[in-house]
Amino acid sequence: MRKKISLLSLTLVTIGMLAACSGNSASTEEKSEKKSLAFVSNFPSDTLDPQLNYTTVRAGIAETLVKVNEQLQIEPWLSKKWKTEDGGTTWVFEIREGIGFQNGKALNAEAVKHSLERTIKESEAMKSALKIKEMKANGQILTITTKEPLATLPSELVHPNTAIIDVDAPDIKNKPVGTGPFKVASFKPDTAIKVKKYKEYWGGEPKLDEVMLTFNDDENARTSALQSGEADIVYRPAIESLNTLKQDSSIVVDIQPSLRNQMLFYNSRKEAFKDKNVRKAFDVLLNPKDVVDTALAGQGSAAKGPFLESLDFSNDQKTKTYGTSEAQKYLEKAGYTLKDGKTIKNGKQLSFKLVTYPYRPELPLMSQMLQSEAKKIGVKIDIQQVENMDEYMTTKDDWGMVTYSLVTAPRGDAGYFFNALYMEGGAFNVGHFHEPALTSIIAELNKTVDQKQRNKLARQAGEIVEKETLHSSIVHPNNFVAYRDNVKNWVTTKSEYYVITKDLDVK
Amino acid sequence: MELIGKRIIELLIFLVILSFLSFVLMKLAPGDPVKQMLRVDDVAVSEEQMNNLRTELGFNEPVYIQYVKWLKRFFQFDLGSSYMTKEPVIDELVEKFPSTLRLTVASLVVMLLIAVPLGTLSALYPNKWIDYLSRSISLIGASIPSFWLGLLFIQLFSVRLQWLPSMGTGTAAHLVLPSLTLGFAMSAVYMRMIRASLLEGLKQDFVRSARARGISESRIFIFHAFRYSLTPILTILGTSLGSLLGGTVIIEVLFAYPGIGKLVIDAIMNRDYPVIQGYILWMGLFVVLINSLVDLSYKYVNPQLYVKGGDKT
């Protein structure tokens, strides 16, 4: 018996000893000496190479020539101003003076040129987006010539992959040298990055001494990290934990609408969806408010169009009447009749496959809601869930509708959305819609530099999309961040590009 | 020496077959790395641009030509570079492997600390309270999904008691919760296995003979019954070791532990073929080596299995 007890005790003592060797005490001590902050996000980072990952900009290490503000308008950052005199083929950027890299090297047009050259060499995506033919540097003036007129060049230069770094610095993957308020102290791929303040930052001395950014894909684990005090700020805590977090007086929950839109794409290769009245029927079948309340647990807003209403290029959307009877009216216009509980045309019931994917759990829920509403008006929807949605949409044509989630204006410009979805050969033109009037407006948009004119064209394009119901915008899900009440000056940006700033502070 | 040479040739043939099958299956599976590389969800690109990149990367060539090119590089010890990070695949694997190895060893230690004493006591005192306790723990361990157990541990040790960090790496403390989660989940199986093997061992003729010869019970237990029961345990230990070294994805994600499992899951999501292919070969190599070691260990643990002439009883 004694032997038994000693064996059990040994096991428990060993586990206890392992547990006791906690590393928390050291970090607490460090915290009291320095102004530090711990941030846990779901943004993965296997490299700090800014040309391949967003973390360098998010962590305040590097900056881009142009940035996007909270109204999603582009504004100067490392570049003081820019202009084009030939409709978007030649762009002249004036680089701010008096800026230094974190290793003391001065930032001039030559350094920016080398950095952008590296960008297009390392990133196929940026090479495609920037379309750079030639660059010339002269003092603080950088002249970029593009292969074709590119009215969106300043907006493309907002992309974190165009962040300016010192390309001559060693070990860009682990320790890039930028111009931001924080420099890399240590980096463990896919785990954490520690940054410390760069006192000589051109925008003024940062308030924090250091920030620890940890990556964790699991939302429950992130929530626990905040509750345990391991984290001061967590990005996207578990949605079901929001009410609990709100009840904790030491935690602040910040909720902001995102640029993301949960949408329905229609397949024009399917006979039924060639008819715009059929598309309109599904456009009004599902009430976005119900989707917000049910599938998003209240964390979102009804979408009236692809873009947030507050954006200048968002076209005026009319308030729609939703419901089965409204949907039925459109189906009748399309020649369908409801008979014996089935919506029929030429003796055939309206039925199709709806494809969805589990990565965003609200999408399968939204699909089920649509299926249930459709059943009420005699339409049969078969739901199929796939892992790789992009692949399915582009390689198969057996689907009638898909639920999809897309960031519609990632850099504060409508060009991406219309080119990707509705231009011939666009990577996201999965519905194979070809509207000549829309195509010509997008072509015009691509040539137009003046922002006011661009917004006007984008609104016109949006009106055609709306009139023809080429897709249905359902909801904008919210972004939410939770932080401890000792955190000061936190801003949840719509773009999600800027996270750690010089103004971020702790009490 | 001859045996080692034979094993190396077998291993090489195995790796080539494995690489061929995995290469072909990967190419047949849906997915397009070009879309990830061009980040079509935030950069407006056209089908034409995607096609150009596919041609540039050789994806439009027949699969067998792509495989031959890959094999040529493989024999020059080059596994290629990741499409996403542009880093050599071998560097990525070598970088992540020590973390996985540490987690593997720690989990096995936890498993052994739980399973060996409880499994042994359970066999020594069948149908007594310790046996019921061990069986209950085993049932609980086998029934609880490991990610949920991990979350429970985080709630208890990190949120409530604030003893241990819930994520990351760096100190020994960071290893405690993931290894406790994995070790506890594994110990359920091993406890039952140890109990069953020991009970069977204690019933063997040679144990009866030993008792008849007047050998002490503790000696019989350690040198006869326990030794007998080691063979099946070693066999499943080999399998566990293989799967642990392959990476335990859920635990690595939950505890933000940067192991090889998370590396390959990210690679699969991004259709990063060179990394997936490199991982398959790397793991294939380890599984074969571990199995060979387990095979060799039988010779010492239970020589009856290695009677000359291949009469393996």
What radius of gyration do chain A's Cα atoms show? 26
Would you call B155 and A407 a contact, using CB atoms and an 8 Å cutoff? no
Would you call A23 and B41 a contact, using CB atoms and an 8 Å cutoff? no
Residue B289 has pLDDT above 70, yes or no: yes
In chain B, which among 260-289 make CB contacts under 8 A with chain A?
262-263, 266
Query: With an 8 Å Cβ cutoff, is B117 touching chain A?
Result: yes
**Residue A160 DSSP label:** G
Q: How far is A321 from chain B (nearest CA, A)?
A: 31
Report how far Cα B172 is from the mean position of its chain's Cα atoms: 21
Residue B68 has pLDDT above 50, yes or no: yes
pLDDT tens profile B95-139: 888 888 889 999 999 999 999 889 988 888 888 898 898 889 888
Inter-axis angle of helices B273-301 and B260-269, nearest 10: 140
* Cβ-based neighbours of B294, under 8 Å, separated by 6 or more: B234, B235, B237, B238
Would you call B173 and A227 a contact, using CB atoms and an 8 Å cutoff? no
pLDDT tens profile B74-83: 888 888 889 8
Cβ–Cβ under 8 Å, residues A399 and A353: yes
ipTM confidence: 0.73
Using an 8 Å CB-CB cutoff, list chain A residues near B190: none
Provide the pLDDT for residue B258: 84
Provide the pLDDT for residue A32: 53
Q: What is the mean pLDDT of residues B35-48?
A: 81
Provide the pLDDT for residue B305: 58
In chain A, which among 84-113 make CB contacts under 8 A with chain B?
none
Instruction: Indicate the residue of A18, A47, A426 with minimum beta-carbon distance to B176.
Output: A18
Query: With an 8 Å Cβ cutoff, is A16 touching chain B?
Result: no
Using an 8 Å CB-CB cutoff, list chain A residues near B170: 23, 188
pLDDT tens per residue across all 507 residues of chain A: 444 444 444 444 444 444 444 334 444 444 457 899 999 998 878 889 999 889 999 999 999 999 998 888 889 999 999 999 888 899 999 999 999 999 999 999 999 999 999 999 988 889 988 999 999 999 999 999 999 899 999 999 999 999 999 999 999 999 999 999 999 999 988 888 999 999 999 999 999 999 999 998 888 889 999 998 889 999 989 888 888 999 999 999 999 888 899 999 999 999 999 999 999 999 999 999 999 999 888 889 999 889 988 888 988 777 889 999 999 999 999 999 998 889 999 999 999 999 999 878 889 999 999 999 999 999 999 999 997 788 788 888 899 999 999 999 888 889 999 999 998 888 888 899 989 999 999 999 998 988 889 999 999 999 999 999 999 999 999 989 999 999 999 999 888 899 999 999 998
Cβ–Cβ under 8 Å, residues A471 and A31: no
Provide the pLDDT for residue A30: 46
Would you call B45 and A21 a contact, using CB atoms and an 8 Å cutoff? no
Question: Which long-range contacts link A125-129 to residues 24+ away (Cβ below 8 Å)?
Answer: A125/A161, A125/B37, A125/B38, A125/B39, A125/B43, A125/B45, A126/A51, A126/A159, A126/A161, A126/A162, A126/B43, A128/B38, A128/B43, A128/B45, A128/B49, A129/A156, A129/A159, A129/B43, A129/B44, A129/B45
Would you call B163 and A426 a contact, using CB atoms and an 8 Å cutoff? no
Provide the pLDDT for residue A437: 93
pLDDT tens profile B209-254: 887 887 777 778 777 777 777 888 888 888 888 778 876 888 888 8
Using an 8 Å CB-CB cutoff, list chain B residues near A159: 42-43
- CA-nearest of A36, A75, A486, A417 to A263 is A417
Mutation to test the A interface, candidates B93, B146, B167, most A Cβ within 10 Å:
B167
Q: How far is A408 from chain B (nearest CA, A)?
A: 8
Provide the pLDDT for residue B200: 84
Closest residue in chain B to residue A190, using alpha carbons only: B258
Instruction: Provide the pLDDT confidence category of residue B307 given band limits of 50, 70 and 90.
Output: low
Query: With an 8 Å Cβ cutoff, is A189 touching chain B?
Result: yes
Percent of chain B with pLDDT over 70: 96
Query: Element (H or E) spanning A93, and its range?
Result: strand A90-95
Average pLDDT, chain B: 84
Instruction: Indicate the residue of B37, B53, B256 with minimum beta-carbon distance to A216.
Output: B256
Count of A-B CB contacts under 8 Å: 176
